[in-house]
C-alpha cells in the first residue's frame, strides 16, 4: 500500500492523508496530527479527525501536538504555517485519554513529528506502538521525498518569479529543467539579432541628473522591451543604453526576421510614450537606431563559474551591432543586412543604402533601409505581415523619391553617371528632406567629374 502511495502522491498533503488513512486501518487511530518543518521556516501541519471530535477537543489536541513538536525542535523559528484538516470537527464529545507521539528522522536528522490520540484508556499497548513504529519506519522516506519534491517545485516557482525580469521565461525554464541539454551544451543555430541604441546618449547623460537619467532608462527599457517580447524575441542583454535582442534562439519562430522587424517598428512607435520630461534631449526628441542581421551563431553558456550568460556570439552578432552603428551615418532608424532583405523583401518596403565591411572580413555586405509605407499615400502591403503595425513617420518615404532613387542606383551600377544624376535630382526634388537621395546625388555628381581612361 505504501508503494502505491509513493507512486501516485505528488504533494506532502496527499502523502500524509494516505498515511493517516492507513493509520486508521492499522491501529484504529481516532485523531492524528503530523507536523513537518521546512528549511525556510514554514511549518506544515496536517490533522485527520476520523471520529469527528468536537472543535474544542480537536483544538486542545492540536495544542498538545504543537507543544511536543516544539520540544522536538526548540530552535525552529516558525515564519509561516500551512495547516490542513482532512476531516472537519463534529459533535463527538468523547475525551481523548490516550496519546502517543513519535519523531520522524532521515539520516539521523529529525524533520517531523506524528501525534496520535484515542478515546480508549491506555490504548497504545506495546504491540500497537510496535506496529506504529514499523509502519512509520517504512513511511518516513516517502513523506520526506514528497516534502523535498514539493519544496523543489516551490523553489523553481520562486526562482522563475525572481528572475523573470532579468531572464526570458523560456530560457529560465531550460536553465531550471535539469533534463534540458540545450543550455548546457553549445550549439550552432540560425538566429536573428537586433541591436538598438539611443542617439546622442552621451550628451543626454552629461546634461541630465543621474537619478532622472536612471528613471528615464527604466521607463525606456520597459516601453521598448515589451514590444520585443510581444513579437517573440528575448532581450539578451542591456549594454548601457543599448539593447541586444535575439529572435529564434530558444523558441521556434516561423520567421524570426519578420518578428524582429515588427518589433523594431513597434519600438520606434513606442518612443512617443516614453517620459522624457526630466532629461535634456539635444534634438528636442528621443531618437534611436536599430540594426538587424540574421545568420548562424553559437548559442550557449558563456562566462565562468561565478558569472554565466546564456547568449549568442559570432559574426552575425558583430554585423548586427555594426549595422546599428551606421544608422547614424545614413540617418535612418531601421537598417537590415542583405541576409535579412533576401528573406523579407516581399513583406516590407526596402531600399538599398550601401555596402559595408565587417571588421576583419573581406566581403562587403549590402544594407537596406526598412519602410512601412509611402508618405501621404495609403500603402497596401504585398503581405499581411505589416498590416497591423503602427504608423511611424520616420519609416515613411516619398513614392517619387523611392522610385527615382532606385533607378538612380541602377544607373550607378552600370556607371551611367549623368543619367544617375538626373534620377537622383528628381528624387531630391520630390522630397528635399530625404537624406539618402541627397547623398547619392552628391556621389553621382562626383563620379561624373572623374575623367574616364579614354579622356586622359
Q: Are residues 372 and 402 both part of a single domain?
A: no
**Range of lowest pLDDT (102-106, 281-285, 345-349, 380-384):** 380-384
The verdict on residue 172 lying in a domain is no
Total domains present in the chain: 3
Query: CB of 371 within 8 A of CB of 383?
Result: no
Single out the residue in 105, 132, 163 at which a domain terminates.
163
The verdict on residue 169 lying in a domain is no
Q: Are residues 309 and 426 both part of a single domain?
A: no
Single out the residue in 378, 397, 416 at which a domain terminates.
397
The verdict on residue 175 lying in a domain is no
Farthest CA pair distance, the chain:
125
3-state DSSP assignment of residue 397: strand
Residue 351's CATH number: 3.30.70.1230
The verdict on residue 174 lying in a domain is no
Q: Does 3 have pLDDT greater than 80?
A: no
Q: Are residues 377 and 410 both part of a single domain?
A: no
Query: CB of 231 within 8 A of CB of 266?
Result: yes
User: How many helical (H) and strand (E) elements, i.e. helices and strands, does the chain have?
Assistant: 13, 15
Confidence of residue 200 (pLDDT cuts 50, 70, 90): very high
Cell of 94: 468523547
Reported pTM: 0.63
Q: Are residues 322 and 444 both part of a single domain?
A: no
Domain that includes residue 134, residue range: 2-163
Residue 23's CATH number: 3.30.450.40
Query: CB of 291 within 8 A of CB of 324?
Result: yes
Q: Which pLDDT score, from 0 to 100, does residue 65 have?
A: 95
Confidence of residue 418 (pLDDT cuts 50, 70, 90): very high
Q: Are residues 242 and 387 both part of a single domain?
A: yes
Q: Which pLDDT score, from 0 to 100, does residue 39 have?
A: 73
State how beta strands 288-304 and 334-337 pair: parallel
Cell of 282: 539635444
Rounding to the nearest 10 degrees, give the CA dihedral for residues 446, 451, 452, 455: 160
The verdict on residue 173 lying in a domain is no
Q: Are residues 315 and 440 both part of a single domain?
A: no
Q: What is the mean pLDDT of the chain?
A: 84
- Structure-model confidence comparison of residues 6 and 95, the more confident one: 95
- Structure-model confidence comparison of residues 114 and 170, the more confident one: 114
Q: Are residues 224 and 369 both part of a single domain?
A: yes
Q: Are residues 314 and 196 both part of a single domain?
A: yes
The verdict on residue 177 lying in a domain is no
Q: Which pLDDT score, from 0 to 100, does residue 27 have?
A: 78
Q: Which pLDDT score, from 0 to 100, does residue 179 have?
A: 43
Q: Are residues 334 and 452 both part of a single domain?
A: no
Q: Does 377 have pLDDT greater than 90?
A: no
3-state DSSP assignment of residue 250: coil
The verdict on residue 134 lying in a domain is yes
Single out the residue in 365, 381, 397 at which a domain terminates.
397
Average confidence (pLDDT) over 300-309: 68
Q: Does 101 have pLDDT greater than 70?
A: yes
Q: Are residues 275 and 236 both part of a single domain?
A: yes
Q: Are residues 375 and 238 both part of a single domain?
A: yes
The verdict on residue 20 lying in a domain is yes
Confidence of residue 47 (pLDDT cuts 50, 70, 90): very high
- Structure-model confidence comparison of residues 80 and 293, the more confident one: 293
Q: Are residues 112 and 66 both part of a single domain?
A: yes
Amino acid at each position: 500500500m505504501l508503494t502505491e502511495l509513493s507512486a501516485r502522491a505528488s504533494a506532502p498533503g496527499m502523502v500524509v492523508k494516505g498515511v493517516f488513512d492507513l493509520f486508521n486501518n492499522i491501529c484504529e487511530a481516532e485523531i492524528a496530527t503530523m507536523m513537518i518543518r521546512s528549511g525556510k521556516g514554514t511549518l506544515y501541519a496536517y490533522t485527520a479527525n476520523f471520529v469527528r471530535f468536537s472543535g474544542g477537543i480537536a483544538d486542545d489536541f492540536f495544542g498538545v501536538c504543537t507543544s511536543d513538536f516544539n520540544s522536538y525542535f526548540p530552535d525552529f523559528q516558525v515564519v509561516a504555517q500551512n495547516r490542513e484538516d482532512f476531516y472537519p470537527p463534529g459533535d463527538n464529545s468523547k475525551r481523548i485519554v490516550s496519546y502517543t507521539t513519535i519523531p520522524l528522522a532521515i539520516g539521523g536528522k529529525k524533520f517531523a513529528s506524528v501525534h496520535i490520540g484515542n478515546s480508549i484508556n491506555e490504548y497504545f499497548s506495546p504491540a500497537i506502538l510496535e506496529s506504529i513504529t514499523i509502519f512509520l519506519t517504512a513511511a518516513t522516506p516517502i513523506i520526506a521525498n514528497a516534502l523535498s519534491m514539493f519544496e523543489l517545485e516551490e523553489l523553481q516557482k520562486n526562482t522563475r518569479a525572481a528572475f523573470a525580469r532579468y531572464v526570458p521565461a523560456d530560457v529560465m525554464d531550460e536553465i531550471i529543467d535539469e533534463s534540458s541539454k540545450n543550455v548546457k551544451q553549445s550549439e550552432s543555430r540560425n538566429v536573428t539579432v537586433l541591436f538598438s541604441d539611443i542617439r546622442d546618449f552621451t550628451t543626454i547623460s552629461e546634461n541630465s541628473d543621474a537619478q532622472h537619467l536612471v528613471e528615464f532608462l527604466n521607463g525606456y527599457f520597459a516601453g521598448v522591451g515589451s514590444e520585443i517580447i510581444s513579437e517573440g524575441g528575448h532581450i539578451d542583454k542591456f549594454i548601457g543604453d543599448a539593447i541586444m535582442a535575439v529572435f529564434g534562439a530558444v523558441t521556434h519562430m516561423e520567421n524570426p526576421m519578420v518578428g524582429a522587424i515588427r518589433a523594431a517598428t513597434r519600438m520606434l512607435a513606442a518612443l512617443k510614450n516614453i517620459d522624457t520630461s526630466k532629461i535634456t534631449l539635444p534634438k528636442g526628441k528621443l531618437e534611436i537606431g536599430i540594426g538587424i542581421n540574421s545568420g548562424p551563431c553559437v548559442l550557449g553558456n558563456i562566462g565562468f563559474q561565478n558569472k554565466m550568460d546564456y547568449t549568442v556570439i559570432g559574426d552575425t552578432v558583430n554585423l548586427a551591432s555594426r549595422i546599428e552603428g551606421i544608422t547614424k551615418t545614413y540617418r535612418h532608424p531601421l537598417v537590415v543586412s542583405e541576409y535579412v532583405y533576401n528573406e523579407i523583401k516581399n513583406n516590407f518596403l526596402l531600399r538599398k543604402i550601401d555596402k559595408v565591411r565587417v571588421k576583419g572580413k573581406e566581403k562587403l555586405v549590402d544594407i537596406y533601409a526598412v519602410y512601412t509605407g509611402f508618405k501621404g499615400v495609403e500603402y497596401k502591403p504585398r503581405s499581411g505581415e505589416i498590416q497591423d503595425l503602427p504608423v511611424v513617420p520616420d519609416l515613411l518615404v516619398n513614392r517619387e523619391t523611392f522610385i527615382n532613387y532606385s533607378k538612380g542606383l541602377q544607373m550607378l551600377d552600370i556607371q551611367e553617371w549623368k543619367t544617375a544624376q538626373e534620377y537622383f535630382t528628381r528624387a531630391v526634388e520630390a522630397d528635399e528632406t530625404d537624406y539618402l537621395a541627397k547623398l547619392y546625388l552628391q556621389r553621382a555628381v562626383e563620379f561624373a567629374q572623374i575623367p574616364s581612361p579614354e579622356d586622359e
